[in-house]
């Protein structure tokens, strides 16, 4: 009798539990963002690099300092016409990119074929030297002979954070040299200079640009 009562009570408990309403809700949401106490420190950095090669005439440099929203720096570029271009810039809060461009040296342009005039050499005569004035020959040791120059190099600097983009590559074999370099100009365009020197041809360069130059809106045009 007791076994039957226990069995009936267990069956009633199972049926009652099966009829209990079941509720589902969305899982608790966890914030994807850290609290204000975990925010990162304001940006602060300093960098400086310089490339100078008197043999090939390369002269590039860039330096920049940043602390929070204030950034200042400058970079120099050796232009194909021989001048040294220096761009000094700063960003002070919401002032935007403010740049000042200056140049050192004078632009050199190769002489054209039309401007060259032929002049016959002028003869030069001198009185014959006497035997008494003839000096004994002076011995000098032989000079060392070196092989023809041959080299190749390439470097590249790209920084998306500061929009820096500089590159240079050059190959030389004997008297033939060719190469190219790119410079990120202050107006946003990418300047590419492709050049070559073929024997006595001199420095021949071709300059091209990528992108369009954006100019900031002046205060007078704002309404």
Percent of residues, the chain, with pLDDT higher than 90 = 18
Give CA–CA dist 10/161, Å, rounded.
71
Predicted pLDDT at 100: 93
| Position 5 confidence tier, pLDDT thresholds 50, 70, 90 | very low
Predicted pLDDT at 6: 53
What residues are paired with 71 via a beta bridge?
A: 66, 91
Give CA–CA dist 63/126, Å, rounded.
61
Predicted pLDDT at 48: 92
**Who contacts 139 (Cβ-Cβ below 8 Å, separation ≥6)?**
none
Question: Could you tell me the residue ranges of all domains in the chain?
Answer: 42-108+149-210
For 127-186, how does the pLDDT look when each residue is reduced to its tens digit (9 = 90+)?
A: 676 666 667 777 787 776 777 788 888 988 888 777 778 899 999 888 889 999 998 888
Secondary-structure breakdown of the chain: helix, strand, coil percentages, each rounded to the nearest 5: 10, 40, 50
φ and ψ of 8, to 5 deg: -65, -40
Could you tell me which residue, 53 or 8, shows the higher pLDDT? Answer: 53
């Amino acid at each position: 009798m007791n076994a039957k009562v226990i069995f009936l009570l267990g069956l009633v408990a199972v049926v009652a539990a099966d009829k209990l309403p079941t509720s589902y809700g969305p899982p608790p949401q966890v914030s994807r963002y850290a609290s204000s106490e975990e925010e990162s420190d304001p940006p602060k950095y300093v960098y400086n690099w310089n490339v100078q090669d008197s043999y090939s005439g390369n002269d590039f440099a860039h330096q920049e300092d940043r602390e929070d929203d204030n950034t200042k720096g400058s970079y120099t570029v050796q232009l194909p016409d021989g001048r040294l271009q220096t761009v000094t810039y700063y960003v002070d809060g919401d002032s935007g990119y403010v740049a000042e461009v200056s140049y050192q040296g004078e632009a050199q342009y190769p002489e054209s074929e039309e401007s060259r005039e032929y002049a016959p050499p002028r003869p030069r005569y001198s009185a014959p030297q006497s035997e008494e004035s003839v000096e004994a020959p002076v011995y000098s040791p032989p000079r060392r002979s070196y092989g023809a120059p041959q080299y190749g190099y390439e470097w590249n600097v790209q920084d998306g954070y500061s929009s820096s983009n500089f590159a240079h590559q050059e190959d030389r074999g004997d008297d033939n040299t060719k190469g190219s370099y790119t410079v990120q100009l202050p107006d946003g365009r990418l300047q590419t200079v492709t050049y070559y020197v073929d024997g006595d041809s001199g420095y021949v360069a071709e300059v091209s640009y990528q992108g369009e130059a954006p100019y900031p809106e002046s205060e007078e045009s704002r309404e």
